[in-house]
Amino acid sequence: MKKTIIYLICTVFLTNTGRGNIMISKQESDSFIYSPAAATYRTNQTDTLLINIQAHVQNAFVNGKISNSDKDLAGLEKELLSMNRNNNNSIITYWYSYACYYHSILFLMQKENKRAEKILDEGIIQLNKIPNPNSEHLALLSLMESLSIQYASGMEIPGISKQARQNAEKALQLDSLNLRAYYVLGSNDFYSPAQYGGGKKAAGYLLKAIRLKEQSVANPILPSWGKNSAYEMLIRVYIKQKLYDEAKKYYKEASALYPYDYMIIKLSEELKILK
């Protein structure tokens, strides 16, 4: 599983990321992520990064790739830590770890492997500190654990892969409609070597992911990542299995939903060859 999910990060979308004003108590903010049905918020005079935070992180990553600098991501992480210094807010912790994930990818692209491992471990540590992690926390934790496999020795890989899979399964137990949990399970299976039982369940997990909503309730504070990547990986699964009609079918769906997604566009070149 040394082939990691790094390439998936190339599916970043450059979206509008205007900030808003919001003030949320710890109890209220935790309700966002624990109970999608309660996903309402009230604005106040306190400015925050939480509105469209996913796009803030993704854009900081893109800027880092362009400028070959981690300044934007490091600054964003610092702001999130500052916001969370006295609150111990699980949503802020989630987004801090999400930023660490992207930061690690950026360092890997810059061949700064030790720094990449360090910042990834920091994000994992923070997620593991959450006393009652919910489905979204566990899905992100599983994703980050999967990435950490590349730093592991051969003996450690099966254990880390198993832990990542178990966390994604727990995420589904808590929320059976969490597409990110299905996506991470599909990714974990896709990249697991055959000798460890990999490659048998990826299509099933990914098919479930693409049929789910990006968010149960639309909310600019909650995560919505994963669906485009699930489509892209599903198409790759079918190409690998030589099920070319299925690959083309889901490519058509994916390109209609995500016409500007770099990795999905790239698949068109492979599919043309298969005609």
pLDDT in tens, 57-99: 999 999 999 999 999 999 999 999 999 988 889 999 999 999 9
202-210 and 179-191 are packed helices; what angle lies between their axes, rounded to 10 degrees? 160
Task: Please give the pLDDT value at position 196.
Answer: 65
Q: How confident is the model at residue 275 (pLDDT cuts 50, 70, 90)?
A: low
Domain that holds residue 15: 6-273
Give the tens place of pLDDT for each residue, 9-26.
Answer: 443 333 233 323 333 333
Q: Cα separation of 165 and 107, whole Å?
A: 25
Task: Please give the pLDDT value at position 87.
Answer: 80
Q: How confident is the model at residue 271 (pLDDT cuts 50, 70, 90)?
A: confident
Residue 200 lies in a domain: yes
Q: Cα separation of 84 and 48, whole Å?
A: 11
Residue 124 lies in a domain: yes
Q: Cα separation of 101 and 95, whole Å?
A: 10
pLDDT surpasses 70 at 260: yes
Share of the chain above pLDDT 90, in %: 65
- Tokens of residue 201, six digits: 């369940």
As a whole number of Å, the end-to-end CA separation of the chain is: 30
Residue 42 lies in a domain: yes
Give the tens place of pLDDT for each residue, 141-159.
Answer: 999 999 998 888 778 888 8
Taking residues 32-40, report their average pLDDT.
36
Mean predicted lDDT score pLDDT of the chain = 83
Residue 52 lies in a domain: yes
Give the tens place of pLDDT for each residue, 186-198.
Answer: 999 988 777 666 7
pLDDT surpasses 60 at 33: no
Share of the chain above pLDDT 70, in %: 81
Task: Please give the pLDDT value at position 154.
Answer: 76
Residue 72 lies in a domain: yes
Residue 209 lies in a domain: yes
The CATH number of whichever domain residue 219 belongs to comes to 1.25.40.10
Give the tens place of pLDDT for each residue, 119-128.
Answer: 999 999 999 9
Q: Is the dihedral of CA 91, 95, 97, 98 positive or negative?
A: positive
Q: How confident is the model at residue 273 (pLDDT cuts 50, 70, 90)?
A: low
CB 169 within 8 A of CB 182: no
Task: Please give the pLDDT value at position 185.
Answer: 96
Residue 1 lies in a domain: no
Residue 239 lies in a domain: yes
Which pTM value belongs to this model?
0.82
Q: How confident is the model at residue 249 (pLDDT cuts 50, 70, 90)?
A: very high
Q: How many domains does the chain have?
A: 1
Q: Cα separation of 102 and 119, whole Å?
A: 9
HEC string of the chain equals CCCCCHHHHHHCCCCCCCCEECCCCHHHHHHHHHCHHHCCCCCCCCEECCCCHHHHHHHHHHHHHHHCCCHHHHHHHHHHHHHCCCCCCHHHHHHHHHHHHHHHHHHHHCCCHHHHHHHHHHHHHHHHCCCCCCHHHHHHHHHHHHHHHHHCCCCCHHHHHHHHHHHHHHHHHHCCCCHHHHHHHHHHHHHCCHHHCCCCCHHHHHHHHHCCCCCCCCCCCCCCCCHHHHHHHHHHHHHHCCCHHHHHHHHHHHHHHCCCCHHHHHHHHHHHHCC
